[in-house]
A and B are shown apart, each in its own frame.
Chain A
């Protein structure tokens, strides 16, 4: 019964319209060898096609160096792609001017892997959350302060610690603080780049719970970047697999696990230790 409910929900979600569409996106970095004048290009990714549907979670999975983070940064408007289109709300983002991008930035926000370095150490928790509102000139001073406390509560941080610096929080709390900062602008797309990988299991769980709640109540869309297929299996609606700068497969999660088309996806799945192999490993260890 439960499984059927889940499947129905997934089908509805996946059927929903595209929030962001990537077509033929490529990014190269110009490099120069030391003491040499000749330049050469380092390709981060190439000909990437990707669809992120409104109200769903798309997981972007691949090994280190596959180009996931650079792709995420391009989508978060932190880097300019070399070619291709990013369609978002009827506009092609790479073609927009700086001025026009300013208002788009409200709608796309990013969470970084290391929350410690992602938070300005010289500001208090409340200031950190208010900062995007200040930059985007939203609301009054009092309004922003109230909003900051509200956001702290929504990510389960005590309002009493609003004046503390980010370094006085634990790792998991810092990541929730970073999420609160991203939520301040009420974005429709939240890009999470390995947002849980530096955290302990309990903190990861708390953050995934928080993300699930945000999606249910606010209908937010997530792009969740991870190197670990297992960690995304539970909550991703769709999974895109990336290898050497290309997307090799994008599919609904259940389908990908049942019917992996690309050889690399099968490899990743095979590398995923199942419960049986973990238990078996423990037993052999115990036997030895």
Chain B
């Protein structure tokens, strides 16, 4: 239990620090939302000052941070200057879309990577392993952006998949199933692209973790009993290799989230990515801070989930936290 409590406290402190620093950094950057108005001759300096005062932008930093913290408590996370409405609800919709995309992509990447990684490890140095190695290193060398643009090109040229967005116009009020089907079709390309970004890394980690385990004496002992290959790989080697792989899961969620920003912008998936870019360009302070904080929450939550899984899967950690194993 101590292990979990410690991890949880760790996550909270981390998020608090991230909120403070992202808030401070964007405040430190020169210029704000209202500076763009100043070039417009039809808006007087008085109007701008009035707006500043109305949105509290004229107050010193600590007061603005305190106000923001208070609005965090009621879920508003400040007010978006561009949308002229609380940030919370805007973020919620976008975050849901981003979660859908990264969730599907993570699932896809792992479902493909696990069998390939295991097979590569089992056939180490053989033809199948070399093919997998060549394929993953090729994929690894292609820049993410190029990959996404290629997918976009594919969509435009073939017309097999919609080239952007999340739902076809006119389907917003359709029945659940036709809506789900349409969203799924829109999801294919961004999810593929996102999965392809992490896939080579996953395959390589899974392969090397499995190779290490396959050399352990308890695997040798099981071979001595005449164990079948399937039982050896799935019931012995994979559980034993699960420890580094679960940590990798937390890490892969982080990679997915940062890559998702780019894929969302290129393939215009209405997630946090396009919102964040837009908000940074127009200096919509609270939207930027909110989006950064939310991404961090996902990342920390991903790692926390990985830690929980680790706790459940690894007898050594359980023993450590009970103080049995020294």
Contacts and interface: CB of A to CB of B under 8 A. Distances in A.
Interface of A: 73, 76-78, 101-102, 105-106, 108-110, 112, 114, 117-122, 131-132, 135-136, 165, 167-168, 178, 181, 185
Contacts of B222: 120, 131, 135
B236 interface: yes
Given A78-B224, A119-B221, A135-B228, 14 more contacts: A73-B220, A77-B224, A102-B226, A105-B226, A106-B226, A109-B224, A117-B217, A118-B221, A120-B218, A121-B218, A122-B240, A135-B227, A167-B316, A168-B325
Nearest 9 CB-CB pairs, A to B? Answer: A118-B217, A132-B225, A105-B226, A102-B226, A135-B225, A112-B217, A117-B217, A165-B315, A120-B218
A185 B225 contact: yes
Contact of B216 (A78, A102, A117): A117
Contacts, number: 63
Contacts of A109: 224
Interface residues of B, number: 21
30 contacts: A73-B220, A76-B224, A77-B224, A78-B220, A105-B224, A106-B226, A108-B224, A109-B224, A110-B221, A112-B220, A112-B221, A114-B217, A117-B216, A117-B218, A118-B217, A118-B221, A120-B218, A120-B222, A121-B218, A121-B240, A121-B315, A122-B240, A122-B315, A131-B222, A131-B225, A165-B319, A167-B315, A168-B324, A181-B221, A185-B225
A80 B221 CA distance: 15
B75 interface: no
Contacts of A76: 224
B124 interface: no
A91 to B, nearest CB: 16
Contacts of A185: 225
B67 interface: no
A119 B218 CA distance: 5
Nearest to A191: B224
B89 interface: no
B239 interface: yes
Contacts of B70: none
A101 B223 CA distance: 11
B130 interface: no
A178 B225 CA distance: 13
A181 B227 CA distance: 14
* B interface SS class: helix
A110 B221 CA distance: 7
Contact of A120 (B228, B236, B324): B236
Nearest to A119: B218
Contacts of A77: 224
Contacts of A181: 221
B231 interface: yes
Given A112-B221, A167-B319, A168-B319, A120 B240 contact: yes
A67 to B, nearest CB: 17
Nearest to B313: A122
A118 B218 contact: yes
A257 B229 CA distance: 46
A70 to B, nearest CB: 13
Interface in B209-247: 216-218, 220-228, 231, 236, 239-240
A37 B228 CA distance: 33
A20 to B, nearest CB: 15
B316 A78 contact: no
Interface in B294-326: 315-316, 319, 324-325
B225 A105 contact: yes
A119 B219 CA distance: 9
Contacts of B216: 117
A165 B325 CA distance: 11
A136 B220 contact: no
Contacts of B224: 76-78, 105, 108-110
Contacts of A112: 217, 220-221
Nearest to B227: A135
B147 to A, nearest CB: 31
Nearest to B236: A120
B226 A101 contact: yes
A136 B226 contact: yes
A227 B239 CA distance: 34
Interface string B192-206: 000000000000000
Contacts of A106: 226
Nearest to A104: B226
Contacts of B221: 110, 112, 118-119, 178, 181
Contacts of A118: 217-218, 220-221
A168 B227 CA distance: 25
A105 to B, nearest CB: 4
A122 B242 CA distance: 11
Contacts of B223: 78
